Amino acid sequence: MERRHELDWMRVIAVLMLFFYHSARVFDFSDFYVKNPTLSTGAEVFVAVLDVWFPLFFFIAGASAWFALKKRSASQFASERTRRLLVPFVFGVLFLATPQVYCVYIQQQGNTASVAQFIRYLFSVPPLTAIVAGQVDEARIVAYTWEMAHLWFVAYLLFFALVCLPLFSSIKDGRLRGVRDRLAGFCDRRKWGILLFGIPMALVFTALVLPEYLARMIFIVPFALGFILYSDDRFGRAIDRAGLISFVSALVLTGVTGAVAAMGWLEVSGVLVIPVGILIGATMWAWLLTLVAGGRHLFNFSNSLLEYANDASYPFYILHQTVLVAIALAIVELNVPWLVKYCLLLVGTLGITAAVYELLVRRLRPARFLFGMRPLPRPAGPETTS
């Protein structure tokens, strides 16, 4: 079975982009765990640009599920995904998300509790109790006890994998395999056919007005599309042919979205939410197709760097935001321009995350289990002579 190395490269690059993205969140106008005293429109725009690419994470996960399910039964797939996602999620919520909540708490004026006192406080209030850390310029910082933080992605990914498993099994070798074959043939014959998969992407983004925990359910669509479009080589050929048109479409739609944002229409309500949501979803699909087509063309190769980085990407994701928030507490106090703080935060987070991974995660079997990594190979036993 041929391995599609572009999926590994895109996963690694996407995780690295999160370091740039979350570092900028300290300086934009939205809620985050630590905020700089002065906020930046430049950071706000940068965050908005990277937001458009976020469905790529779920698309890659869905595509990877196809290759995993080809080698496993449905029960083996469910067991493997549960082990690799549930264990890091529980560990992360307890030991990596909670320190971020504490960082919010200690920023609130008058709060001087120690870590031990704060932990006792956590156990004294119901889960998801809000902690409001006050106002910083136009940004209000809010956190919740025992919240998921950035690990919401892991929780939703596990849910999607289990919920979609009957669908995926049917596409693999059940009744829906014929439907998949007909769709693949249609896309293989018509250059524009692959673009039609953007319709469900566009439609589900009208759900952005729902509460956040429900709105995130829309990412089940790129997750399922990743599985479907990597399940047949004809879809891949269609993506390759559509690379240029999807790129041009992405540029045009991004321009329209920027104009809509400049007029303040992204915050609309009522029936206007529908066209705005469709615009955002279509823009995301155009960029997703562009990135996948580019990845298939440029990155379907492997080397030692990819092998190392691919193993490291998941632990890097789990670790990075806790490291970033802790460093940001000190960085925001510096009397230097925000862009200098951003660079210091980015470099510091990358360096410390890499050091923690290399020294405390990669080499230790218990840590690898907690971070969802594959076990280290057992050392070979002593040779015997006959």
Query: Which class for 131: exposed (0-12), middle (13-18), buried (19 or more C-beta within 10 A)?
Result: buried
**Residue 258 and residue 271: Cα distance in Å, rounded?**
20
Structure-token match 């004809």, residue found: 234
Residue 113 in this model has a pLDDT that exceeds 60: yes
**77 near 169, Cβ under 8 Å?**
no
Residues 117 and 222 in one domain: no
Residues 260 and 324 in one domain: no
- CA 171 to chain CA centroid, Å, is 25
Residues 129 and 80 in one domain: yes
Chain-wide mean pLDDT for the chain?
Answer: 90
Last residue of a domain, one of 249, 283, 317: 283
Question: What mean pLDDT is predicted for residues 120-130?
Answer: 84
In single-letter form, the type of residue at position 298 comes to L
pLDDT, greater one: 380 or 336: 336
**Residue 154 and residue 60: Cα distance in Å, rounded?**
13
Residues 230 and 347 in one domain: no
Which pLDDT score is estimated for 352? Answer: 98
Does residue 381 lie in a domain region? Answer: no
**212 near 284, Cβ under 8 Å?**
no
Instruction: Report pLDDT digits (tens) over 231-268.
Output: 999 999 999 999 999 999 999 998 888 787 767 666 65
Number of domains in the chain: 2
Residues 231 and 111 in one domain: no
Residues 255 and 338 in one domain: no
Question: What mean pLDDT is predicted for residues 317-338?
Answer: 96
Residues 201 and 120 in one domain: no
Question: What mean pLDDT is predicted for residues 85-101?
Answer: 94
Angle at 28 between CA 24 and CA 32, to 5 degrees: 80
Structure tokens at 297: 């063309």
Residue 335 in this model has a pLDDT that exceeds 70: yes
Does residue 293 lie in a domain region? Answer: no
> Which of 250, 65, 277 shows the shortest CA–CA distance to 158?
65
**323 near 349, Cβ under 8 Å?**
yes
Residues 39 and 148 in one domain: yes
Which pLDDT score is estimated for 372? Answer: 95
**273 near 209, Cβ under 8 Å?**
yes
Query: Which class for 385: exposed (0-12), middle (13-18), buried (19 or more C-beta within 10 A)?
Result: exposed
Residues 152 and 34 in one domain: yes
Structure-token match 């206007």, residue found: 272
Question: What mean pLDDT is predicted for residues 74-88?
Answer: 96
Q: Which residues contact 279 (CB under 8 A, 6 or more apart)?
A: 202, 253, 256, 257, 260
Residue 384 in this model has a pLDDT that exceeds 60: no
**Residue 158 and residue 164: Cα distance in Å, rounded?**
10
Classify 270 in phi/psi space as left (phi over 0), alpha (psi -120 to 50) or beta.
left
Question: What mean pLDDT is predicted for residues 41-70?
Answer: 92
Does residue 258 lie in a domain region? Answer: yes
Q: pTM score, two decimals?
A: 0.92
Expressed as residue numbers, the domain containing 49 is 5-174+302-370
Question: What mean pLDDT is predicted for residues 84-102?
Answer: 94
Residues 38 and 160 in one domain: yes
Q: From the CB of residue 382, how many other CB atoms can be counted at a distance below 10 Å?
A: 6
> Which of 3, 57, 74 shows the shortest CA–CA distance to 226?
57
Taking each helix axis as running N to C, give the angle between helix 74-92 and helix 304-331, from 0 to 180 degrees, rounded to the nearest 10: 30
Residues 252 and 196 in one domain: yes
Which pLDDT score is estimated for 112? Answer: 74
Which pLDDT score is estimated for 240? Answer: 95
Beta bridge partners of 196: none
Does residue 383 lie in a domain region? Answer: no
Last residue of a domain, one of 237, 254, 283: 283
Last residue of a domain, one of 283, 316, 338: 283
Residues 169 and 192 in one domain: no
Q: From the CB of residue 32, how many other CB atoms can be counted at a distance below 10 Å?
A: 25
Reported as half-sphere exposure (CB side, CA atoms, 13 A), residue 83 has a value of 10
Of 89-93, 98-102, 181-185, 264-268, the poorest mean pLDDT is in 264-268
**Residue 17 and residue 295: Cα distance in Å, rounded?**
15
